[in-house]
């Protein structure tokens, strides 16, 4: 079954829900960095997109991507447990990646907890390759795998 949903940029009204999802689905067992004020700061930044999937007033998932000159970094990403495996994560990831592609950014980077089999499988399915393991990346509590994806040819036609 497919649920209806749409993608939009987050507003400050989404900050509490995003912070709660991060605490329970990403930062479990760790001191929480992604508090509501931290989410609000990310929303305010002009080199960051905080993007949500929603069904009307219900937030189904979110992603936070930082766009740098040469690479984009997916810093936080989660879908509500009850709405997983229905393409919500895929739609959010594609949206965030397309922005990087249009900006001519060649490399996409993301980390996942080594024990996060679903997350790692999700990224590999979307073309990310494991490039390294980083000991203690998660506040010294857990190691990370670093994954990268190359966007290939630059789409920055303005440079030609
Ligand atoms: C990883 C996560 C975002 C995936 O979201 P989702 O909405 O379930 O993903 P989709 O339904 O779009 O899945 C797309 C593909 O990813 C893969 N995938 C997703 N969940 C998977 C799982 N639990 N096990 C194996 N593969 C999985 C599948 O190949 C799937 O393709 P399919 O539908 O053809 O089988 C979600 O499981 C989640 O929020 N996990 C907790 C937080 C997290 O791990 N965040 C990322 C790392 S910080």
Read off the pLDDT band of 1 (50, 70, 90).
low
Sheet containing 71-79: give its strands across: 6-9, 48-55, 58-67, 71-79, 107-113, 142-150, 129-138
Q: Which helix (H) or strand (E) segment is 31 a member of?
A: none
The tens digit of pLDDT for each residue in 78-128 reads 999 999 999 999 999 999 999 999 999 999 999 999 999 999 999 999 999
Substitution site in 114, 118, 128 for ligand 1 pocket (most atoms within 8 Å of beta carbon) = 118
pTM to 2 decimal places: 0.94
pLDDT of residue 153: 53
The runs of H, that is alpha helices, within the chain are: 15-21, 36-44, 88-102, 117-125
Q: Give which of 62, 74, 65 is closest to 46, Cα–Cα.
A: 65
Write out residues with Cβ below 6 Å of ligand 1.
25-26, 77-79, 84-90, 112, 116, 118-119, 121-122, 125
- 119 Cα–ligand 1 center, Å: 6
Read off the pLDDT band of 151 (50, 70, 90).
confident
């Amino acid at each position: 079954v497919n649920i209806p949903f749409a993608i939009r940029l987050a507003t400050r009204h989404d900050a509490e829900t995003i912070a709660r999802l991060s605490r329970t689905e990403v930062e479990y067992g760790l001191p929480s960095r992604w508090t509501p004020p931290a989410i609000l700061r990310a929303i305010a930044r002009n080199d960051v997109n905080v993007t949500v999937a929603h069904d009307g007033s219900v937030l189904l998932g979110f992603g936070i991507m930082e766009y740098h000159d040469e690479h984009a970094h997916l810093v936080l990403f989660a879908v509500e447990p009850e709405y997983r495996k229905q393409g919500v994560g895929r739609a959010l990831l594609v949206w965030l990646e397309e922005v990087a592609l249009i900006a001519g950014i060649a490399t996409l980077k993301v980390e996942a907890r080594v024990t996060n089999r679903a997350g790692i499988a999700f990224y590999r399915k979307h073309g990310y390759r494991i490039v390294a393991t980083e000991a203690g990346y998660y506040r010294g509590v857990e190691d990370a795998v670093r994954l990268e994806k190359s966007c290939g040819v630059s789409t920055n036609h303005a440079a030609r």
